[in-house]
Amino acid sequence: MATTRPHLDLNIDGVVAELETLARISEAEPPVVTRVVFSEADQRARAYVKDLCSQAGLTITEDAIGNTFARWPGTEPDLAPVGTGSHIDAIPNAGLYDGCVGVLGGLEAIRVLQQLGFKPQRSIELVIFTAEEPTRFGIGCLGSRMMSGVLTPEQALALRDREGRGLEELRTAAGFSSSIESVALRPGRFEQFIELHIEQGPLLEEEGIDVGLVTHIAAPASMRILVEGEGGHAGTRLMPGRKDALAAAAELILALETAAKATGAIDTVATVGICDVFPGAVNSIPSRVRLETDIRDIDAARRDRVMETLRSACADISSRRGATITTELINADPPATCDKEILGALEDSAKAAGKSYKKMVSRAYHDSLFMARIAPVAMLFIPCRDGVSHRPDEYASPQWIGSGVHVLARTLAVLAG
């Protein structure tokens, strides 16, 4: 059926060239991208992207930790802006699309609307978040965590990298010296926020779908569990009365798996990714085990029930086996539900653009998870080859990027009015 599908004159070759230029600003040899926050490469990458934003006539401000806001003023500049954006930092040995597609794709969406002569009522603001990746400080989404107030300035200032350098030292060395108290944004600072991102999973490509409309962002809770039993000689210490810490830990791992499956929800996942055994000798009964768990869901209450089940399993196994089991909650970020109005606008835009779409869950977490604390948010996914991400061979085709930018541009136009 021939419908009106106004053509958007996207310059996707230009976006790809910009992505490639950004990728060459790396601490590793191309094609490997490594760009840790506040490194020299991160500084150069920021300068490059800010320069592109300036060329597009955007007004740039930065906060005390380098979160960057590039604003296209609307005709009513006092109204809260519609935000879009993502991150440009990259874990060691990464590729060139994670985060960067959302930043440079967001910029292209703004540029194409400018070229159309569109005059948004609300300002449209491109956001480049500081340190989405946990590489330096061991905590993900530093910028958006602080913007949303989830991470307080005191907690942030206590962060240290592996060399023992703190956020204060690193941010000032990078040229960010305003008050760290001013990073947190008030709810309402953004009217809405949309993040364009590669899926980092295989579904869209497998199903041949142009874009994914993210309805929920799952969030992890992680718990550290220390099991203390009694060591001894593996030969002379007979089975009765043993307090084998690893055998107790094994029960715990299975109890967690059972608890996650028992919710009956496909979105509940639980993993024990770390199991440190002490003393770790073949002829010695393990006396101490440290487990680290990652429990995720899109439903916070359901996830918390799994955590509760795990805690009661700890108590039960401890009393049956005479081992001491202690738990420490490392973090429990709340999952986010995406905003219906934005999702509706994304859906309408996908239809108008002639792009196929499906609703889906983001099982990785993103800056949008934290932005959801202070603004209505949604995410727009594009396919990535074989679902590969966080690797140098991460790839999204120009066509996939074009679909994402097209739908984003239309949606921004609708929301900014």
284: which strand partners?
233
The DSSP H or E segment spanning 44 is helix 40-55
CB of residue 15 vs Zn ion: minimum separation in angstroms?
Answer: 17
**CA-based nearest residue to 416, from 38, 60, 24, 73:** 73
132 vs 354: CA distance, rounded Å: 32
Does residue 140 belong to the site contacting Zn ion (CB under 5 A)?
Answer: no
CB of residue 151 vs Zn ion: minimum separation in angstroms?
Answer: 18
128: which strand partners?
68, 86
**What does each C-alpha distance from 362 to 60, 129, 322 come to in angstroms?**
30, 18, 41
x-marked contacts with Zn ion along 71-110 as a string, rule CB under 5 A: ---------------------------xx-----------
**What does each C-alpha distance from 142 to 64, 120, 129, 135, 220 come to in angstroms?**
12, 30, 8, 11, 15
Q: Give 145 or 321: the residue with its C-beta nearer to Zn ion.
A: 145
**CA-based nearest residue to 18, from 99, 89, 101:** 101
CB of residue 290 vs Zn ion: minimum separation in angstroms?
Answer: 29
CB of residue 132 vs Zn ion: minimum separation in angstroms?
Answer: 5
**CA-based nearest residue to 252, from 331, 303, 318, 297:** 318
Q: Give 99 or 201: the residue with its C-beta nearer to Zn ion.
A: 99
With CB atoms as reference, the residue minimizing the distance to Zn ion is: 99
Q: Give 39 or 86: the residue with its C-beta nearer to Zn ion.
A: 86
Q: Give 218 or 245: the residue with its C-beta nearer to Zn ion.
A: 218
Subset of residues 367 to 396 that bind Zn ion, contact rule: CB under 5 A:
none
Q: Give 140 or 153: the residue with its C-beta nearer to Zn ion.
A: 140
Q: Give 98 or 244: the residue with its C-beta nearer to Zn ion.
A: 98
CB of residue 127 vs Zn ion: minimum separation in angstroms?
Answer: 13
CB of residue 93 vs Zn ion: minimum separation in angstroms?
Answer: 15
The neighbour count for residue 216, using CB atoms within 10 Å, is 19
* Contacts to Zn ion by CB under 5 A: 98-99
